[in-house]
C-alpha cells in the first residue's frame, strides 16, 4: 500500500494581516495556496499559476507580488497583507467603496488583485491619470468589465482620498 | 408602456444601483468552488492526450498508484461502471453525426488534451505526481485540424466515419438567383474567424461528494445552470433527480463556457461515487485553454445583391463551422452555426436569402456557445457587405443602411433567415450613435489626421441579436434545457423578503435586477429583499444563466411573483383594517390608504400578525406569505434586440498594430432594469469583442498541436490597450411582456468585432488593401498597406 | 499545475549557496525573483531536485556607483532598478527599457540577474547589457570571473554561465556626457515580451557621430552588437539623412532573424528597420535639444 501522507514540510513563521502565524508547509507549495488552503484566507484567487493574470496578488513586505510565483517557504519572516484583512488601509478602503459604487466588478474573481494593485499605485501617485491607471493595472486581467469602470473607480477613489482632510483620514 | 402598473411603479426598476452582493466580493469574501472544502476531500488530476488523434493503450498504472498521496488511478473501465456515455443529438436535425463521448477516452483519443486517465490523491500536487508515472502507448492516426482539411476529408476525425461532416443544412427562398441576375451591384465578402475561447478568470471547477448510504450526491460547481447540470448528472449516473443537489456558489465568469457537460466534471462525479469520498477538481489555466469549449471557427463566403434603387434584394451565405471532435453536449456546437444563420442580414429588410451551413468535425476540442453565440459572425459578414455595397454605389454607408433598415411600420417582420423582427429601433439607434460619436466632426478630423499621415478609420456596425430564448429553441430539438424559471418570494415575520430562483448569478447582476423588480412589484424598500440563487435544493427546476435571459424571462416571472405577494398582503391588510384592498396601496413597506397616502400599518406588523397571531385575523383569512410563480415566455421564440456600434481605430504604421482609440455603443434592450449594470455588461462585451477582433486566437499547429496553452500565448485585452467605451440606450420595450425587458448581456460582444473590422478596413482603404481574417494580425495589416515584402503564408 | 517535489535550501551567505550549487550543479535551480523559474516549475517544464533560494543572502541587491562603474547587485528587483536615481543618472537606457518589462507586480519581484541568466531572446535587459558593454560578475565555489555581456549570451536561453556559477552583480561602465541612448520596442500588447526592440546609443562630437551602439532584442536568437550598422553611423554627420537609409538597408544582410510562429522573418526585419529609423531620429532630436 502506498503512503497516503502529504509532502514533507518545513516550519515557517510570518505575519499575515497583522496576526503572527506559525505553520509547516511543503517546499513546493505556493504562497497563495498556503494562504488560501493553509490559512483559509480565500480572498486571493488563483487564475493562471503562471504569473500573468494578477488574481493572486498579495502584499509582501509592502509590495504587491504574485502569490502564485512565490513559494510559501519564502514568506518565512515576512509581513503579508491580503484583501481578507479586517482593517484595510485607507487606499484599499477607498477603492473597495469606489469599486462597489461604480460597479467596477462583475464576477469579482479579479477584484482583490486589482484593488491591491490599484492601492499600490495610489500610494505612489495619489492623482494618477487614466493612462497611468491603465498602465499600472495592465498586469491584472479582468474578463468582465472591459476595464473602463475600473479606471473610473480608481479615479473616484483618488478623488475621495484627496478630498479627505488629513486630520480626519480614513483608518490606516 | 405596460398594462398593469410596471411602468408607474415606485422606482427601483430603471434605477442604476450598485449590486448589494458586490460588497462581499470587494472584500475578498466571495465563495468560489475552490474556496469550499469538505472534510476528507481528495483532489483529481487528469492525464491528457498529447496527441490530437491516436489509438492508445495504458500499459502501466502500478507505479502511479504507489506515489505518495495517491489514492486511486481511474481509467475508462472504472468510470464506466458508474457513468454512461453521452451523445449529442438533435430531434430537429436527425442527421447530425456526433459519436458518443465518455468521461475518459476509450481506446482512441480524438483531440489533444482529451482526458484518458484520472489520478485522485491527497493533494493536487500529488495527483500530478501520479500522472507522471502512468505509462501510455500511442499509435498516431492522421489528424484533421483546419476546416479546409475537414471538408477535403482525406483524413477522418473519427476513424471509420463516413466523412467529417457532422451536419449540412441548406435553405433558400425562391427568388434568390433572380435577384442576383437582376442586381445593379453584387458584392462579395469572405471572412475567416479563428477559434477563441471565453477565459472566465475563475477556471471550471467541481467538488462532488457522494453519500452511498442515501445514494445522494452533493455537487458544488462553477457552472451557469445548476439545474441542467443536476439533470444530466442524475441521468448519466443513473440517480434519482432529487437526490442530486447542485450548488453553484459565486461563479467567476461564464460567458457560455460553463454551460456544457465536460468529461472532467463527469469523471469527478463518477470518482466520488466509486471512492465514497468528496473529490475536487479545479482546472488549471493550461487545462482551461486546452479543454474549455472554443468558439467561432468559421469560414464564411457571402454575396449581396443590390438593385438599382439601392435596396438590398438578396443575400447568399455559405458558412463552414468547425465543431471540434464532438458536437458539445447537450446543446450542440451546431447551435452557433444556426445562430449565425438566423442573424444574417441583421437590421436589413432582405427578402431573398439562401444559406448553406456545414458543420465539420476536427481533431480539436469542441466548440460551443460563447457570448453572443454566432451573432458576431453574422454581424461581421453582413456589415462588411454593407460597407462594400455602399462603396459600390458610391454613397455613404449611413445612407445605404438607412435605406435598407427594417422600418418600425414594417414590423413584425419575419426574416427569411427565420428571425421574427419586432419592437426594433434601427433608425433611432443609428441617429443617436452619430450624435454620441460626434460623427460629422469626427469625419472632418479623420481627414485632417490622414493629411498628417496618420492611418485612422471609423467603422460602424448595426446589429440584431436574438436573446432570451424561449422553450421552442431547445424543446423542438429534444434537448432537455429549460427556458423557464420559478421565483419563490417569502416574507418573514419581520417584513423582510427572501427570494429563491432558478436564475443564476455569474457576475452579470441578475440578483440585483430581481431585487429591484420584486421591490417594485410588492412595494417594498430594496434593502428588505434578499435574493438567493444557484442551489437546486432551494429552487424548483429552471433555466440558469444563458441567452441573456435573466431580465427578460426571470425578471418577468419575478414581477408576477411579487404581484402575487402584494395581493396577499393587501387583502390581508384590507381585512384587518376593514376596508377594501383597492383602497390600499403598498409603498416602501407601508400599507397606505388611497388617496390620502396615510400610513395605516407596516408590512412588518402585518407579517408578524400573520405569522404569530393568526387567531386575530378575520375569520377564514389565510394569507400566504410565501408565493411562487413559474413559467417562461410565450410568443416569440427569441426576443430580438438591436443597436449600433462604432469604433475609431488607428494603425501604427511601424508595426501594423491596431489601436482602438474610442468605441461607442447605442443599444436597445427594451426596458432597462438597472442602467448601471447594463452599461457595464455592454462595455465588458465590447472589450471581449475587441479581443476577438484583434488578439484572441486558439492556435493549432498544422499537425494538431495546441499552441495557445498559456496566457502568454493566448492574448487577452489588457487595461492599457483598451479604449473607453461610450454607451447609450434607446428603449423600445418588448410589447409581449409586462416589463418589456429584453436581453442585454451579450450585445457588446455581438457587434464589436464587426465595428473594428469595418474601422480597420476604412483605415486601410486609402492603401487599396483590406483584411479578412479575425483576429486581425499586424502582419496582415502591414501587407494590406503594402508595407511588407513577401506574400501571406 | 503544481511543481514536482524538490528540496529547498535558503542559504544566508553566498559561500553556502555556492557550495550547494557546486554539489548539485544541473540538478539545482537558483531562485531569485522566481518570475520565470516558478512558472516553469508550476508547468513542470523545470523540475530541479533542489531549489537554492538566494533571497536571504545579504548585499546582493545593492546599487552603487564605483568610480566610473555602476554596480548593480544581481538580485536587484526590476522596479528598484527602474526607480533608482543612480541608474537614471548613470545608465538611463536601463530606466527607459525597464518601463517595457512586464507589469508592476512582476517588476516588484523579478530581478536583473534572473533576467540575464534566463537569456530570453526577447527580453530587454540582456540587450541593454550588451549595448552598454556591461561586465557580468559570476561566482562559483572555486572563485569568481567577469564575463563581458557580449560574450555572455550565446543563444536562445543559452549563456556562458556554468552549472556551478551564479550571477552576483553587473558592472556597467558610465558613459561620458556626449553619449545619447534611446530604447524602443514593439510588443503585441503593453508589457509583453518584445516582437522586436532596439537599444541604441551614439556619441557625438558636435554633429559628427563619434561612436555608436546598436543591439536588437526579439529579432535574433541572442543580443549582439551590430558592428556593420554601428560603423555605418560612425563618422557621419547627423544632418546627413542618407545614413539611416543605408543603415536600414544593411539590416537585411546583417540580421539573422528568428523564424517561425505567427510572425514571419520579413515582419521582424521590417520592425527592426522601423525601430532603427525611430531610434535614429530620436537620438537626433535628443542631441539637438
Same-domain status, C218 and C134? no
**Main-chain phi, psi angles of A61, to 5 degrees:** 50, 45
Q: Which residue has the higher pLDDT, B616 or A92?
A: A92
Cβ–Cβ below 8 Å for B25 and A105: yes
B712-767 pLDDT per residue, tens? 999 999 999 999 999 999 999 999 999 999 999 999 999 999 999 999 999 999 99
pLDDT at C288: 62
Please name the member of B129, B284, B654 whose beta carbon is closest to the beta carbon of C1: B284
Chain C residues near residue B779 by CB distance under 8 angstroms: 262-264, 267
Would you say B421 and B464 are in contact if contact means Cβ atoms under 8 Å apart? yes
pLDDT at residue B6 in the model: 46
Shortest CA distance from A113: residue in chain C: C105
**pLDDT reading at A171 higher than 50:** no
| Dihedrals phi, psi of C194, to nearest 5 degrees | -70, 140
Q: Show the 3-state SS of B296-309.
A: CCEEEEEEEEECCC
Contact between B347 and B462 (Cβ < 8 Å): yes
Residue that is last in its domain, among C173, C189, C215:
C173
Q: What's the mean pLDDT when you consider all of chain C?
A: 95
Angle formed at CA B670 by CA B669 and CA B671, multiple of 5 degrees: 115
pLDDT at B790: 56
A109-164 pLDDT, tens per residue? 999 999 999 999 999 999 999 999 999 999 999 999 999 999 999 999 999 999 97
Query: What is the per-residue pLDDT for A167?
Result: 42
Q: Which of B508, B681, B720 sits opposite A134 (nearest CB)?
A: B720
- The rounded distance, in Å, linking the Cα atoms of B167 and B334 is 8
Spatial separation of the C-alpha atoms in residues B220 and B269, rounded to whole Å: 11
The residue out of C131, C154, C173 marking a domain boundary is C173
pLDDT tier at A165, thresholds 50, 70, 90: low
Contacts of B710 (CB under 8 A, 6+ apart): A48, A50, A52, B285, B286, B289, C43
Q: Is residue C58 part of a domain?
A: no
Is B374:B340 a contact under the CB 8 Å cutoff?
Answer: yes
Mutating which of A144, A149, A155, A157 best tests the B interface, going by the most B Cβ atoms within 10 A? A144
| Class of the domain covering A90-165 | mainly alpha
Tell me the ipTM for this assembly: 0.97
End-to-end Cα spacing for chain B: 57
Judged against a pLDDT cut of 80, whether residue A172 lies above it is answered with no
Please give the sequence-ordered ranges of beta strands (E in DSSP) within chain A, or none if there are none. 10-16, 19-25, 57-60, 63-66, 79-81
Residue C79 resides in a domain: yes
Minimum CA–CA partner of C50 in chain A: A27
Residues B64-112: tens digit of each pLDDT:
999 999 999 999 999 999 999 999 999 999 999 999 999 999 999 999 9
- Structural element, H or E, at residue B441: helix B439-451
How confident is the model at residue C282, as a pLDDT? 85
* A71 neighbourhood in chain C, CB within 8 Å: 8, 31, 34, 38, 51, 53
- Domain shared by C107 and C49, yes or no: no
Three-class SS state of C137: strand
Residue B7 confidence class, pLDDT cut points 50, 70, 90: very low
Partner-chain residue, chosen from A6, A41, A42, that has the shortest CB–CB distance to B69: A6
Label residue B317 by pLDDT band (50, 70, 90). Answer: very high
Q: What is the DSSP string of B721-739?
A: GPPPEEEEE-----TTSSS
Mean pLDDT for chain B overall: 96
For C189-234, the pLDDT digits (tens) are 999 999 999 999 999 999 999 999 999 999 999 999 999 999 999 9
Q: B213 in contact with C at a CB cutoff of 8 Å?
A: no
Q: Domain containing C197: what range?
A: 179-288
Confidence of residue B792 (pLDDT cuts 50, 70, 90): very low
What is the enclosing helix (H) or strand (E) of B353?
strand B352-361
Chain B residues 628-657 within an 8 A CB cutoff of chain A: none
Asked if residue B378 lies in contact with residue B346, where contact means CB atoms within 8 angstroms, the answer is: yes
Q: Which of C3, C263, C266 sits opposite B789 (nearest CB)?
A: C266
Which residues are paired to B304 by β-bridges?
B187, B315
Place of cell 471609423: B458
Cβ neighbourhood burial of B212 (10 Å; 0-12, 13-18, 19+): exposed
Query: CA A64, CA A80: separation in Å to the nearest integer?
Result: 10
Inter-chain touch A47–B201, beta carbons under 8 Å: yes
- Cβ distance of A63 and C31 shorter than 8 Å: no
pLDDT at B402 exceeding the cut of 70: yes
What's the pLDDT at A166? 52
SS3 B590: strand
Look at residue B416 and tell me whether its pLDDT is greater than 80: yes
Burial label for B492, CB within 10 Å (0-12, 13-18, 19+), is: middle
Q: Which residues are bridge partners to C170 per DSSP?
A: C72, C136
| Rounded Cα–Cα distance for residues B601 and B616 (Å) | 15
C196 and C243 in a common domain: yes
Q: At what angle do helices B426-436 and B397-404 cross, to 10 degrees?
A: 160
Cα–Cα distance measured from residue B183 to residue B416, given in angstroms and rounded to the nearest whole number:
19
Q: Are residues C167 and C212 in the same domain?
A: no
Res. B9 pLDDT band, cuts 50 70 90:
very low
Distance CA B605, CA B590 (A): 10
- B171-B177-B183-B186 Cα dihedral, nearest 10 degrees: 60
Cβ of residue A93 closer than 8 Å to a chain B Cβ: no
d(CA B667, CA B645): 8
Name every residue whose Cβ is closer than 8 Å to that of residue B461 and which is 6 or more positions away in sequence. Answer: B379, B380, B383, B644, B645, B646, B751, B752, B754, B755, B758
**pLDDT confidence of residue C260:** 74
Residues 141-200, chain B, touching A (beta carbon < 8 A): 198-200
Contact B777 C1 (CB under 8 A): no
Domains by residue range for chain B, with CATH? 6-30+484-631 (3.30.365.10), 33-141+203-251+257-291 (3.90.1170.50), 294-471+635-784 (3.30.365.10)
- Cα–Cα distance between B108 and B326 in angstroms, integer? 13
Lowest mean pLDDT among B571-575, B590-594, B679-683, C255-259: C255-259
Contact between C180 and C168 (Cβ < 8 Å): no
Q: Which chains touch B (3 or more CB pairs under 8 A)?
A: A, C
pLDDT value, residue A54 = 98
pLDDT at site B519: 98
Rounded average pLDDT over B268-297: 98
Cβ atoms within 10 A of the Cβ of B182, count?
A: 13
**Distance (Å, whole) CA B479 – CA B483:** 11
Residues of A in contact with C80 (CB under 8 A): none
Give CATH 3.10.20.30 domain extents, chain A: 10-81
Within 8 A of C108 by CB-CB distance, chain A residues are: 63-65
Distance from CA of C64 to the nearest CA of B (A): 33
Interface test with C, best of A3, A32, A37, A50 (most C CBs within 10 A): A50
Q: State how far the Cα of C275 lies from the Cα of C269, in Å rounded to an integer.
A: 10
Say yes or no to pLDDT of C289 above 60.
Answer: no
Q: Give the HSE-up count for residue B693: Cα atoms under 13 Å, Cβ half-sphere.
A: 34
Tell me how far apart the 2 most distant CA atoms of chain B are, in Å: 92
| Strands B529-533 vs B497-501: parallel, antiparallel or unpaired | parallel
The DSSP H or E segment spanning B191 is strand B185-193
Sequential DSSP letters for B451-518: HTT-EEEEEEEEEEEEES--HHHHHTTT------EEEEEEE-TTS-EEEEES---SSS-HHHHHHHHH
Task: State the sign of the Cα–Cα–Cα–Cα dihedral B536, B541, B547, B549.
Answer: negative
Nearest to B364 by CA among B158, B208, B549: B158
Backbone φ/ψ region at B107: left (φ over 0), alpha (ψ -120 to 50), beta: left
Class of domain A10-81 (CATH, top level): alpha beta
CA-nearest residue of chain B to A1? B66
User: Tell me: the pLDDT tens digits for B598-634?
Assistant: 999 999 999 999 999 999 999 889 999 999 999 998 8
Predicted confidence at residue B10, as pLDDT, reads 53
Does residue C253 lie in a domain region?
A: yes
Cβ(B391)–Cβ(B314) below 8 Å: no
Specify whether C76 is located in the same domain as C169: yes
Question: Are C76 and C48 members of one domain?
Answer: no
Residues C226 and C164 in one domain: no
* C47 and C74 share one domain: no
Of B722, B713, C45, give the one whose Cα is nearest residue A52. B713
Residue C1 has pLDDT above 70, yes or no: yes
Q: Does C101 reach chain A within 8 Å, measured CB to CB?
A: no
Please tell me the predicted confidence (pLDDT) of residue B634: 81
Q: Which residues of A touch C43 (CB under 8 A)?
A: 50
* Cross-chain Cβ contact B69/A5 below 8 Å: yes
DSSP state of B587: E
Beta bridge partners of B43: B121, B280
Enumerate the H helices of B666-776 as residue ranges. Answer: 675-694, 747-764
Asked, for residue C15, whether it belongs to a domain, the answer is: yes
Extract the C-alpha cell encoding B775.
483576429
For position B2, what pLDDT does the model report? 37
CA distances in angstroms from B144 to B52, B53, B87, B649, B680, listed in the order given: 8, 8, 21, 36, 40
- Contact predicate C254/C268, CB 8 Å: no
In whole angstroms, what is the distance from residue B343 CA to residue B266 CA? 34
Strands (E), chain C: 7-9, 28-31, 50-53, 63-66, 69-73, 135-140, 143-148, 153-155, 158-159, 166-173, 179-187, 194-205, 208-217
pLDDT reading at A1 higher than 60: no
Interface touch C104/A64, C-beta < 8 Å:
yes
Tally of structural domains, chain C? 3
The alpha-carbon gap from B125 to the nearest alpha carbon of chain C, in Å, equals: 5
- Report yes or no: C8 at the A interface, CB cutoff 8 Å: yes
pLDDT at A169 exceeding the cut of 60? no
- Tally of residues, chain A: 172
Amino acid at each position: 500500500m502506498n503512503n497516503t501522507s502529504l509532502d514533507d514540510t518545513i516550519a515557517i513563521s510570518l505575519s499575515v494581516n497583522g496576526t503572527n502565524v506559525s505553520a509547516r508547509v511543503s517546499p513546493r507549495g505556493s504562497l497563495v495556496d498556503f494562504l488560501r488552503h493553509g490559512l483559509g484566507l480565500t480572498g486571493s484567487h488563483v487564475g493562471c499559476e503562471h504569473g500573468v493574470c494578477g488574481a493572486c496578488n498579495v502584499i509582501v513586505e509592502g509590495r504587491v507580488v504574485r502569490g502564485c510565483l512565490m513559494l510559501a517557504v519564502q514568506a518565512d519572516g515576512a509581513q503579508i497583507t491580503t484583501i481578507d484583512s479586517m482593517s484595510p488601509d485607507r487606499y484599499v478602503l477607498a477603492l473597495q467603496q469606489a469599486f462597489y459604487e461604480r460597479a467596477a466588478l462583475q464576477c469579482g474573481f479579479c477584484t482583490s488583485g486589482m484593488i491591491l494593485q490599484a492601492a499600490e499605485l495610489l500610494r505612489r501617485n495619489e492623482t494618477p491619470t487614466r493612462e497611468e491607471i491603465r498602465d499600472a493595472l495592465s498586469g491584472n486581467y479582468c474578463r468582465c468589465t472591459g476595464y473602463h469602470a475600473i479606471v473610473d473607480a480608481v479615479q473616484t477613489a483618488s478623488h475621495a482620498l484627496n478630498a479627505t482632510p488629513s486630520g480626519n483620514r480614513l483608518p490606516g | 408602456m405596460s398594462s398593469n402598473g410596471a411602468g408607474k411603479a415606485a422606482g427601483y426598476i430603471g434605477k442604476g444601483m450598485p449590486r448589494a452582493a458586490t460588497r462581499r466580493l470587494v472584500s475578498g469574501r466571495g465563495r468560489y468552488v475552490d474556496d469550499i472544502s469538505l472534510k476528507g476531500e481528495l483532489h483529481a488530476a487528469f492525464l491528457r492526450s498529447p496527441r490530437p488523434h491516436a489509438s492508445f493503450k495504458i500499459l502501466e498504472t502500478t507505479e502511479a498508484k504507489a506515489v505518495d498521496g495517491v489514492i486511486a488511478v481511474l481509467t475508462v473501465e472504472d468510470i464506466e461502471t458508474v457513468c454512461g456515455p453521452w451523445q449529442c443529438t438533435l430531434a430537429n436535425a436527425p442527421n447530425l453525426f456526433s459519436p458518443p463521448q465518455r468521461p475518459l477516452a476509450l481506446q482512441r483519443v480524438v483531440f489533444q488534451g482529451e482526458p484518458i486517465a484520472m489520478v485522485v490523491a491527497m493533494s493536487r500536487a500529488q495527483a500530478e505526481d501520479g500522472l507522471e508515472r502512468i505509462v501510455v502507448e500511442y499509435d498516431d492516426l492522421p489528424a484533421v485540424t483546419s476546416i479546409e482539411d475537414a471538408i477535403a476529408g482525406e483524413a477522418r476525425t473519427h476513424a471509420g466515419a463516413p466523412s467529417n461532416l457532422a451536419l449540412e443544412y441548406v435553405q433558400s427562398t425562391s427568388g434568390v438567383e433572380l435577384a442576383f441576375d437582376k442586381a445593379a451591384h453584387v458584392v462579395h465578402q469572405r471572412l475567416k474567424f479563428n477559434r477563441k475561447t471565453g477565459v472566465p478568470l475563475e477556471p471550471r471547477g467541481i467538488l462532488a461528494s457522494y453519500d452511498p448510504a442515501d445514494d445522494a450526491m452533493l455537487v458544488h460547481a462553477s457552472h451557469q445552470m445548476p439545474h441542467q447540470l443536476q439533470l444530466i448528472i442524475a441521468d448519466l449516473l443513473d440517480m434519482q433527480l432529487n437526490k442530486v443537489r447542485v450548488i453553484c456558489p459565486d461563479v467567476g465568469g461564464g460567458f457560455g463556457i460553463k454551460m456544457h457537460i465536460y468529461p472532467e466534471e463527469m469523471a469527478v462525479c463518477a470518482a466520488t461515487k466509486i471512492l465514497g469520498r468528496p473529490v475536487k477538481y479545479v482546472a488549471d489555466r493550461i487545462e482551461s485553454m486546452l479543454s474549455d469549449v472554443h468558439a467561432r471557427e468559421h469560414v464564411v463566403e457571402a454575396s449581396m445583391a443590390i438593385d438599382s434603387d439601392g435596396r438590398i434584394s438578396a443575400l447568399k451565405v455559405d458558412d463552414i463551422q468547425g465543431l471540434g471532435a464532438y458536437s458539445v453536449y447537450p446543446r450542440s456546437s451546431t447551435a452557433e452555426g444556426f445562430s449565425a444563420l438566423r442573424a444574417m442580414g441583421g437590421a436589413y429588410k432582405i427578402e431573398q436569402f439562401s444559406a448553406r451551413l456545414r458543420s465539420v468535425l476536427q481533431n480539436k476540442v469542441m466548440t460551443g456557445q460563447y457570448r453572443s453565440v454566432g451573432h458576431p459572425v453574422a454581424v461581421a459578414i453582413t456589415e462588411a457587405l454593407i460597407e462594400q455595397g455602399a462603396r459600390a454605389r458610391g454613397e455613404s454607408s449611413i445612407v445605404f443602411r438607412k435605406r435598407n433598415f427594417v422600418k418600425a411600420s414594417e414590423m413584425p417582420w419575419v426574416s427569411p433567415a427565420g428571425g421574427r423582427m419586432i419592437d426594433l429601433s434601427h433608425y433611432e439607434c443609428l441617429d443617436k450613435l452619430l450624435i454620441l460619436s460626434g460623427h460629422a466632426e469626427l469625419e472632418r478630423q479623420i481627414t485632417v489626421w490622414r493629411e498628417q499621415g496618420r492611418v485612422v478609420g471609423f467603422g460602424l456596425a448595426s446589429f440584431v441579436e436574438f436573446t432570451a430564448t424561449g422553450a421552442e429553441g431547445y424543446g423542438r430539438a429534444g434537448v432537455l434545457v429549460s427556458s423557464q424559471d420559478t421565483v419563490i418570494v417569502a416574507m418573514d415575520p419581520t417584513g423582510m423578503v427572501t427570494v429563491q430562483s432558478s436564475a443564476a448569478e455569474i457576475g452579470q447582476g441578475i440578483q440585483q435586477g430581481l431585487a429591484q423588480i420584486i421591490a417594485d412589484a410588492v412595494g417594498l424598500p430594496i434593502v428588505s429583499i434578499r435574493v438567493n440563487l444557484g442551489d437546486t435544493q432551494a429552487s424548483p427546476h429552471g433555466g440558469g444563466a444563458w441567452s441573456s435571459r435573466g431580465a427578460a424571462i426571470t425578471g418577468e416571472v419575478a414581477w408576477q411573483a411579487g404581484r402575487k405577494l402584494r395581493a396577499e398582503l393587501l387583502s390581508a391588510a384590507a381585512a384587518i383594517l376593514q376596508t377594501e384592498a383597492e383602497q390600499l396601496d403598498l409603498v416602501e413597506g407601508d400599507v397606505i390608504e388611497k388617496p390620502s397616502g396615510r400610513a395605516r400599518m407596516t408590512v412588518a406588523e402585518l407579517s408578524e400578525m400573520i405569522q404569530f397571531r393568526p387567531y386575530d385575523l378575520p375569520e377564514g383569512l389565510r394569507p400566504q406569505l410565501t408565493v411562487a410563480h413559474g413559467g417562461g415566455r410565450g410568443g416569440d421564440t427569441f426576443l430580438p434586440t438591436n443597436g449600433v456600434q462604432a469604433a475609431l481605430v488607428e494603425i501604427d504604421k511601424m508595426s501594423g498594430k491596431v489601436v482602438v482609440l474610442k468605441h461607442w455603443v447605442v443599444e436597445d434592450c427594451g426596458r432597462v432594469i438597472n442602467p448601471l449594470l447594463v452599461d457595464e455588461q455592454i462595455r465588458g462585451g465590447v472589450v471581449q469583442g475587441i479581443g476577438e477582433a484583434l488578439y484572441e486566437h486558439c492556435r493549432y499547429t498544422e499537425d494538431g498541436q495546441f499552441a495557445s496553452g498559456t496566457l502568454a500565448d493566448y492574448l487577452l485585452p489588457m487595461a492599457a490597450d483598451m479604449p473607453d467605451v461610450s454607451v447609450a440606450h434607446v428603449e423600445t420595450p418588448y410589447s409581449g411582456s409586462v416589463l418589456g425587458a429584453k436581453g442585454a448581456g451579450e450585445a457588446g460582444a455581438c457587434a464589436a468585432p464587426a465595428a473594428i473590422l469595418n474601422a480597420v478596413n476604412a483605415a486601410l482603404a486609402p492603401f487599396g488593401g483590406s483584411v479578412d481574417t479575425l483576429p486581425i494580425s499586424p502582419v496582415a495589416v502591414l501587407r494590406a498597406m503594402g508595407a511588407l515584402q513577401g506574400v501571406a503564408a | 499545475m503544481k511543481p514536482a517535489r524538490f528540496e529547498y535550501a535558503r542559504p544566508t551567505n553566498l559561500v553556502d549557496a555556492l557550495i550547494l550549487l557546486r554539489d548539485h550543479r544541473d540538478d539545482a535551480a537558483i531562485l531569485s525573483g522566481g518570475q520565470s523559474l516558478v512558472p516553469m516549475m508550476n508547468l513542470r517544464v523545470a523540475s530541479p531536485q533542489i531549489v537554492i533560494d538566494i533571497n536571504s543572502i545579504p548585499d546582493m541587491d545593492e546599487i552603487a556607483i564605483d568610480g566610473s562603474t555602476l554596480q548593480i547587485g544581481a538580485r536587484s528587483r526590476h522596479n528598484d532598478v527602474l526607480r533608482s536615481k543612480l541608474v537614471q543618472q548613470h545608465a538611463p537606457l536601463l530606466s527607459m527599457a525597464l518601463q517595457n518589462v512586464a507589469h508592476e507586480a512582476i517588476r516588484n519581484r523579478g530581478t536583473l540577474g534572473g533576467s540575464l541568466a534566463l537569456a530570453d531572446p526577447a527580453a530587454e535587459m540582456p540587450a541593454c547589457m550588451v549595448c552598454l558593454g556591461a561586465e557580468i560578475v559570476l561566482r562559483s565555489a572555486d572563485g569568481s570571473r567577469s564575463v563581458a555581456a557580449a560574450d555572455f549570451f550565446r543563444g536562445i536561453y543559452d549563456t556562458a554561465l556554468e552549472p556551478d556559477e551564479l550571477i552576483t552583480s553587473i558592472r556597467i561602465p558610465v558613459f561620458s556626457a556626449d553619449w545619447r541612448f534611446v530604447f524602443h520596442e514593439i510588443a503585441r500588447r503593453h508589457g509583453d515580451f518584445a516582437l522586436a526592440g532596439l537599444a541604441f546609443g551614439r556619441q557625438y562630437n558636435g554633429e559628427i557621430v563619434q561612436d555608436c551602439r546598436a543591439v536588437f532584442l526579439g529579432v535574433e536568437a541572442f543580443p549582439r552588437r551590430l558592428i556593420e550598422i554601428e560603423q555605418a553611423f560612425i563618422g557621419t554627420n547627423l544632418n546627413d539623412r542618407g545614413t539611416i537609409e543605408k543603415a536600414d538597408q544593411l539590416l537585411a544582410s546583417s540580421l539573422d532573424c528568428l523564424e517561425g510562429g505567427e510572425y514571419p522573418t520579413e515582419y521582424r526585419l521590417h520592425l527592426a528597420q522601423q525601430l532603427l529609423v525611430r531610434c535614429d531620429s530620436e537620438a537626433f532630436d535628443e542631441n539637438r535639444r
